[in-house]
Amino acid sequence: MAEETVFSKILKGDIPCEEVYRDNECLAFRDVQPQAPVHILVIPQKSIPSLREAETKDKKLLGHLLLVASTIANKEGLDSWRTVINTGASAGQTVFHLHVHIIGGRSLSWPPG
């Protein structure tokens, strides 16, 4: 069984969140430490620690997460945004439950971090 994370507690309803979107496959909510005016996380209902652990059978779910991210960004009125999936601690992943960041509402520089 996967280790419990803050995101699994959010999915169970043990920790509240500012929900933006939910369906049978994922949940999206506003980041509690936003890095931009719009910073939303999209997480799968299925526990996958990181993109490294995703499997071929997760292909449809992974595509769904990205399509949901695009839909949310459009509903937020963003004409440009960044989607980020951090994989591993040295890449900035702090919660080991796969998640897609939607970051926008300001100019974003490159390269990041």
Per-domain residue ranges of the chain: 6-104
Whole-angstrom Cα distance, residue 113 to residue 96? 19
Region 38-42: mean pLDDT is: 98
Residue 3: what pLDDT? 78
Fill in the amino acid letter for 96.
Answer: F
Could you give the CA distance from residue 5 to residue 95 in angstroms, rounded to a whole number? 7
Superfamily of domain 6-104: HIT-like (3.30.428.10)
Burial 64-81 (b: 16+ CB within 10 A, else e): bbeebbeebbeeeebeeb
Provide the token pair at 45. 């209902």
Distance of CA 60 to the CA centre of its chain: 16
Q: Please report which confidence band the pLDDT of residue 4 belongs to, taking 50, 70 and 90 as the band edges.
A: very high
Least confident span in 3-7, 18-22, 55-59: 3-7
- Report pLDDT for 2: 60
Q: Which are the catalytic amino acids?
A: 99
d(C-alpha 55, C-alpha 35), whole Å: 30
